[in-house]
Structure 1
Amino acid sequence: MSDAIESRLKELGIVLPQAAAPAANYVPYVISGNLLYLSGQLPMENGKLGVTGLLGKDVDVAGGQRAAELCAINILAQAKAALDGDLGRIKRIIKLNGFVASVPEFVEQHLVINGASNLLANVLGDAGKHARAAVGMAALPLNAAVEIDAIMEIA
């Protein structure tokens, strides 16, 4: 399945970056039994934040969806690092928690996090479909527009 996932990434024009090092005192992932817990991923692109600011003020829904896509790409990069390069060990994405930096009046966090949900379903098929939360936040680390963490079942 790993080859199928790598082929699908290539088909979609997605290149996984090197997994980012933690920005503070935490580990990027924890494996416990058959579960992989991934720390929150920011919308990093080419080594820097790709989308910053508040939804509803600095960033529109499409920009937020792009930020969520970048977070999902970084989730896959961290998973690949955690699984010794073998994305085929992912049995399914169990849950995403999506955090959207937004003004109080912004109420489309669910549409923003669709960027990540759609990308993961496109890459992993049914295994990429998941439960999730999409919540608004006053601010996120480094002025990121979106942060997403994940729980995966692994083989």
Structure 2
Amino acid sequence: MSDAIESRLNELGITLPVAAAPAANYVSYVISGNLLYISGQLPTEDGKLEIKGLVGQDVDVATASRAAELCAINILSQAKAALNGDLGKIKRVVKLSSFVASAPGFTEQHIVTNGASNLIANVLGEAGKHARAAVGMAALPLNAAVEIEAIIEIDA
């Protein structure tokens, strides 16, 4: 399974970065029983926050969707670190919770979040189909446009 996931990542032109260290007093992930909880991931690339601002004001929907994709890539990176490099241990992505920094009146958080949902499903196949929440926020840490956390069922 891990080879198939790596193959899909390669087909999509995605190289998982080294998992980022926490930026405050928390851990990047916790394994409890057969569940892997991944802390909120920001749209970083090459160690830099790439997409900032309020969606619907500073950031358009297509760019915010790309931000959600970057969050999903970082979620997979954290999962790989938590699972000692073996993404094949993922049984199912149970839930993604997406937080979108939204301008007043912006109501397309669900479309923004599709960036992450589509990427996770494309990489993991059936195991990537998940429940989710897409929530608008007044602001996010570091002025990020999107933040996404995950709950993943794993082979313990």
TM (norm. structure 1) is 0.99
Identity percentage of aligned residues:
79
Q: Which runs of 5+ in 2 are unaligned?
A: none
Give the deviation of 1:65 after TM superposition.
Answer: 0.3
Number of the residue aligned with 1:98? 98
Deviation at 1:50, TM superposition (A): 1.1
Helix, strand or coil for the counterpart of 1:51?
coil
Q: 2:45: which partner in 1? A: 45
Report the Cα distance in structure 2 between the residues aligned to 1:5 and 1:144, rounded to whole angstroms: 28
Root mean square deviation, CA, Å: 0.4
Partner of 2:84, secondary structure, is coil
TM-score by length of 2: 0.99
Per the alignment, residue 54 of structure 2 pairs with: 54
Count of matched residue positions in the alignment of Structure 1 and Structure 2: 155
Aligned to 2:67: 67
Q: Deviations over 1:15-44 (max 9, x none)?
A: 000000001000000000100000000000
CA–CA distance in 2 between the matches of 1:72 and 1:123? 10
**What amino acid maps onto 1:12 in structure 2?**
L
Q: Which whole-Å CA distance do the structure 1 matches of 2:103 and 2:59 have between them?
A: 10
Shift of 1:14: 0.3
Q: Report matched runs for 1:1-155 at 5 Å.
A: 1-155=1-155
Q: Write out the 4+ residue segments of structure 1 that deviate beyond 4 Å after TM superposition.
A: none
- Give 5+ residue unaligned stretches, structure 1: none
SS at match of 1:153: strand
